[in-house]
Structure 1
């Protein structure tokens, strides 16, 4: 693992790199956005002995490219990164789970050495002609060739809520199904024929799927089983499980970061445990054991559950395993010599998929298929699992001790406090103020044209985790998209009792005005700016000071030197605050010496994206805070993750989300070997 990540040391702070790489895949996202997956051969003229996988976003029109082509291009590159908040998807883990250790943006394509279309590409084109015009063609492409680019976000949401993502994405279940088919057909020629048939069918299907990471892992498991059969080793299931576990990690250490790896191995372990406890358990009992046993891991990874997944899988699994997948694979084979017959077979599979999608849409309209759950659901699910094991396992009563300890800890009184969370929303701002079970949100982060947004990625997952379904106040400092881009999404998702802004978003929006002051849940809120109504520009931004008489936090939006000078004249020492969220993300147009000295914050937080193109916070701004307030600490949300400021009887406590957790989530050069020793 260390060897595969050590190349990241060569990236440094260089803005652009010349890369020679082999194209693994090119997935168009829209007319002017293509996502390239590349295996890097040379970086800035240096050969890389262990070619790493990188993901490059191309926001431009590209010529037609074929897998295996050699590309020379200029691109930005940065180590795999993602948002780091208390809740929401861990982007860095997701990338590493796919073997991707760096990402970047294409600047220009220098040279293309096109590779002639391979057998898989030609076969995909042949099958594509056969399913052309069918409503569920993107799903057929995903089930047979692993091509998931055509599946919409809405469809993925339905599959997640139905617990069917493991069926749509080619994984161990598909390889196992095909391997069993190959085994039974090959058995006509004896044991050796059965093993050859198993490997041939599983290998061919893995090749069709482009040897995706999840497919490779499943193929390794088939190889392990086949080798044991060849050696005539009658191992108990747990030894086969352990051997497959070790073999996969030796082949692909990045499997440790993949959710599917842990879910699939835990599911197999649960099935082995069920056979140990119940002999031949019924299908309903097996599904119940899987639901309860996988629930803690599912909550830890996805922060929610699909309550109907058990029953939907009972109905959908036979449909896929006995009808849709076999029919689609036969159609793929037939497409090589009879497109019309293949179209008829695909039409049957398409009809079944169509009925499935209509059924899922109807179910989702009646009951929410996916339930985001608050943070307490994870420890509760672990306690439920321990309780079930204590009642089921022979001699399992000792498991009651952790249950008793957890009950005592739950009754332990927590000191009252108020919190401010500066969320990690990339290049933007979102701050959540919480006190006595009430909440105020200051700004909402960005919403990008492609659909990715900080409401779904960071804000709403956190609110769900904290069981928040209502905001007392939503403050939108000004109209810029990186501060107010998710206003409509938040209004649609939860109740907002009052909204303030320097820009009139709607008739119900109240204007931020200097002099406004509230007593709110034991805190004093003072609006220091703007002095008069404006147009929602940077210097019109709402500036809010929050305090309890001992500790104060200043949220300064995107104001620049003109507004800072006027604030200094109006407030003087009244600007002094314990914590400052720096103006304009640490831009050189803000944080003037007078303002920095007047605020004199002990903790300065720059809400700025990781390795952003504006280089925020600017080095000269960082140096200015360090020089004028020597004992201050500075935080960058893109590096430290979300910043939690907690105020209790013992004063102020502040920490970054990346200060805790696994080594790969840490800030700084997280990939360096010394981090493995921590």
Structure 2
């Protein structure tokens, strides 16, 4: 049984590595294998194929509705509201379950996320809304560093996103029992400083937690405590077991399950709580049936049960973190019998480190110590008091307020201590890219040393370490980052960097500095910018200037707009030598304007390969540049002016530059239609016939320049099916 469960789990998990989503022909092939596998009693192979089939059929069924979106800019949807999370006064994020799309029913009611940049009427969960929205398949940014937005959305079951255009009709649902209870509890914690945290711990409502608080919890390794997860459900289940023991073992199990189910309901049956509830249910049933199964079998059964219940769970980071943590605890028991709490925390820290670096690109060095101190505080004091306060609020507001006041005081003291620690010793350490393979190598070496049959791993691990230390050939790199509708270009040589533009900063706090630029600089171990060039003052080019200047030292800031007294104004004729490269400023003729046609146009060359960064200049500036430079504009690579707008890339300019490659830095399905079809056609018809890329479609574009020319890498041209460009959700027979 164990190997069959493991085979199913491996088959299902393989969907994370598929280069394309297999078509129905592949499904037929898998089905044709089932009969001979049954005949040969090859049960492990049979369950492996069943796991593959389960994920293939589910992904096809759950994503096929995206074909109905077509090329339309707007759609009329009727949907049931799951949640509304205000991000600020003018921005609310809606999670909806679609019932009809443009009048047609959708059988599986897919989840979508809609951003509303407008004032909304009061909305209650369960209300039926008829809306005009823009909708597009789940996308997200694709860069070497930073969060994988598309995988993150799929992990939440969200297959499309969009913006609210207009509300047609709202059919409000009467507040349910949970909503009324939340309102009552809100009256009990009204006026308490940590009310948003109390709402998160008891009802899973995280909208009021500030970014600063999340940063502190992440640095302390306590994010799993604030977001209701398996640990909370397990704690409540244990409390239920303890209280129900008076009614015997069967009664204790039923009370335990009732407590866990109630807490999951309070949390709105969020994905993490559903998984934990399934595990508690499996454990309870085994106890009722008097089955004494080993822990690893329960672990495998829970894994398979959750994949059967929610196939999208495999794409969620929390799923893998929680299951790997349990696996590490079981491994610790196997190696050490009854390990101490300190040893358990150390094993969790080392074992989860590679996955944590792969997902979050950093580490919390004090998390081990903080968890040893804070976990008992949460489990024995804060969470029980908060839950008792919420329960008491139904009968007595003063009693509920008193209990919540005690929990609030403890939370306030904890936050104060974390803020002090963070001011003295940074709680979160972003690490460069080499830390991930180094941590994985360290973990394998430890396993080889600890496991009796692991010594044979020593020689291969030594060979891997030597290859990792082998010096890389010298060269320079140009990265046109995927920053949505905006521009950010990073030029690097070794650990030295020049950044041209910074991308946009949006209402609600989301910005390209934190999402893309800073994670990439950390991965590349770049601690300082030699130059920050801001082509002009538009927000999609300079929106993160202040954030970047505050985050890392910058030797020189250059712009066409005088942002501050330290800003050096760019003008035609300026030249620099930087890391063996020649930098020439070709435009503007006069400094200080900061408008599109005043943008800093920069030419970078090593004598063989050259790059032209053309900002947002339009046809007037292009004509003047042609008159001044002529064939001096010729470049190997071009970052197209103004994101591929029809007001730029005139025929004369395209012919003079004659690039071999053109990158249009434009967002996916952006409302301006950049790059414009006529501009794309103009480059296609040029004598140089350059290759073209759009960052919103292909992800970040990286050019590795060496003695033999350059090599191009587009982020969405490699990797698993859900990360690729184009209609990634459509089943294919082969990778096209």
Q: TM-score range by the shorter chain?
A: over 0.9
Q: 1:310 aligns with which of 362, 368, 373?
A: 368
* Contact 2:659/2:688 (8 A) holds in 1: no
After the TM superposition, which segments of 4 or more aligned residues of structure 1 sit over 6 Å from their partners?
675-678
Give the Å deviation of 1:437. 3.0
Q: Take 2:78 and 2:86, find their aligned partners in 1: how far apart are those partners?
A: 21
Q: Take 1:471 and 1:141, find their aligned partners in 2: how far apart are those partners?
A: 41
Q: Which residue in 2 is equivalent to 1:450?
A: 508
Q: Which residue in 1 is equivalent to 2:581?
A: 523
Which one has more relative contact order, counting CA pairs under 8 Å at least 6 apart? 2
Give the Å deviation of 1:108. 0.9
Q: Which residue in 2 is equivalent to 1:166?
A: 224
Aligned: 1:352 with 2:398:
no
Q: Which residue in 2 is equivalent to 1:392?
A: 450
Post-superposition Cα deviations, 1:366-391, rounded to whole Å, max 9, x if no partner, equal: 00000000001001101111111111
Q: Which residue in 1 is equivalent to 2:181?
A: 123
Give the Å deviation of 1:346. 0.4
Aligned: 1:288 with 2:346:
yes
**Which secondary structure state, in structure 2, belongs to the residue aligned with residue 424 of structure 1?**
coil
Q: 2:192 aligns with which of 134, 137, 143?
A: 134
Give the Å deviation of 1:334. 1.0
Give the Å deviation of 1:484. 1.1
Q: Which residue in 2 is equivalent to 1:496?
A: 554
Q: TM-score, normalized by length of structure 2?
A: 0.91
Give the Å deviation of 1:608. 0.5
Q: What pairs up with 1:144-163 in 2 under 5 angstroms?
A: 144-163=202-221
* Contact 1:587/1:617 (8 A) holds in 2: yes
**Which secondary structure state, in structure 2, belongs to the residue aligned with residue 414 of structure 1?**
coil
**Which secondary structure state, in structure 1, belongs to the residue aligned with residue 338 of structure 2?**
coil
* Contact 1:25/1:36 (8 A) holds in 2: yes
Q: Which residue in 1 is equivalent to 2:133?
A: 75
Q: What pairs up with 1:406-445 in 2 under 5 angstroms?
A: 406-445=464-503
* Contact 1:415/1:649 (8 A) holds in 2: no
**Which secondary structure state, in structure 2, belongs to the residue aligned with residue 122 of structure 1?**
helix
Give the Å deviation of 1:448. 2.0
Q: 1:632 aligns with which of 679, 690, 695?
A: 690
Q: Which residue in 2 is equivalent to 1:63?
A: 121
Q: Take 1:675 and 1:92, find their aligned partners in 2: how far apart are those partners?
A: 23
Aligned: 1:331 with 2:389:
yes
Q: Which residue in 2 is equivalent to 1:587?
A: 645
Q: Take 2:687 and 2:98, find their aligned partners in 1: how far apart are those partners?
A: 44
Cα 1:66–1:557 change in 2 (3 A) is: same
Q: 2:431 aligns with which of 361, 365, 373?
A: 373
* Contact 2:588/2:600 (8 A) holds in 1: yes
Cα 1:231–1:41 change in 2 (3 A) is: same
Q: 1:470 aligns with which of 521, 528, 537?
A: 528
* Contact 1:390/1:399 (8 A) holds in 2: yes
Mind listing any 5+ residue stretches in structure 2 that lack a counterpart?
1-58
Give the Å deviation of 1:153. 0.6
* Contact 1:160/1:306 (8 A) holds in 2: yes
Q: 2:333 aligns with which of 275, 279, 287?
A: 275
Post-superposition Cα deviations, 1:480-517, rounded to whole Å, max 9, x if no partner, equal: 11111111111111111112111111222222121222
Give the Å deviation of 1:630. 6.1
Post-superposition Cα deviations, 1:329-357, rounded to whole Å, max 9, x if no partner, equal: 11111111111100100011111101101
Q: Take 2:504 and 2:404, find their aligned partners in 1: how far apart are those partners?
A: 41
**Which secondary structure state, in structure 2, belongs to the residue aligned with residue 495 of structure 1?**
coil
Q: 2:705 aligns with which of 647, 672, 675?
A: 647
Post-superposition Cα deviations, 1:143-190, rounded to whole Å, max 9, x if no partner, equal: 000000010111000000000000000000000111111122223212
Post-superposition Cα deviations, 1:551-607, rounded to whole Å, max 9, x if no partner, equal: 111100000000001111111111111110000000111011111111111111000
Aligned: 1:571 with 2:629:
yes
Q: Which residue in 1 is equivalent to 2:732?
A: 674
**Which secondary structure state, in structure 1, belongs to the residue aligned with residue 732 of structure 2?**
helix
* Contact 2:490/2:497 (8 A) holds in 1: yes
Aligned: 1:96 with 2:150:
no
Mind listing any 5+ residue stretches in structure 1 that lack a counterpart?
none
* Contact 2:135/2:161 (8 A) holds in 1: yes
Aligned: 1:111 with 2:169:
yes
Q: Take 2:477 and 2:534, find their aligned partners in 1: how far apart are those partners?
A: 19
Give the Å deviation of 1:534. 4.0
Q: TM-score, normalized by length of structure 1?
A: 0.98
Post-superposition Cα deviations, 1:269-297, rounded to whole Å, max 9, x if no partner, equal: 00000000000000000000000000000
Number of residue pairs aligned between Structure 1 and Structure 2: 678
Q: Which residue in 1 is equivalent to 2:46?
A: none
Q: 1:509 aligns with which of 536, 548, 567?
A: 567
* Contact 2:60/2:731 (8 A) holds in 1: yes
**C-alpha RMSD over aligned residues:** 1.3
Query: Which range moves more in the overlay, 433-442 or 283-292?
Result: 433-442
